[in-house]
Amino acid sequence: MRGFEAAASLVAQPVRAVGESRGFAVVRLLTNWAEVVGPETAARTRPVRIAHGRGFGATLTLLVSGAHAPLIEMELPRIRDKVNACYGFNAVSKIVLTQTAPTGFSEGQAQFVPAPRKRAETPPTVEQLDAAASVAQGFSDPGLAAAMRQLALNTLSRRDTNDRKANS
């Protein structure tokens, strides 16, 4: 160990090994699926495996849930072009859709969905603004006073949302 290391470097080798066992030579196709095909298509599909046959080009298998299969079927040429752009050459010649539920019967599978967006913050109340202003009055430097005012506002606004006793 050389001190702190990036989390991506710690998981790169295990992710690459799992990806290669499923036929993915470019792990970026798995980890950045939404960036490769777009967020709308990525919300409806998931790459499962790439099978290399005897001929030219591989077959990409996509997992599609329910009624989305006809919509994705119409987008297959565009998806193939984007996947091949990710590889840098015409690696995928055919895409096969597997129409099933996103989780298996015997085991759950990880969902690669973006984190939910944070809800809009409520503006500070008059009492919070007054309390933050009283904290900032104790500092003569205007920059430091502004920073302390903002810190006080942040602390006071979080206290109400995170305090279990206040929200009971």
C-alpha neighbours within 13 Å on the C-beta side of residue 119: 3
Judged against a pLDDT cut of 70, whether residue 163 lies above it is answered with no
pLDDT tens for 81-96 read 988 888 777 788 889 9
Structure tokens at 84: 């091949």
Q: Residues 86, 28: contact at Cβ < 8 Å?
A: yes
Average pLDDT, the chain: 77
pLDDT tens digits for range 132-158: 999 899 899 999 999 999 998 888 877
- pLDDT, one tens digit per residue, over 30-48 is 778 888 899 888 888 888 8
- In this structure, the strands spanning 58-64 and 45-52 are antiparallel
- Helix or strand run (H / E) with residue 95: strand 92-99
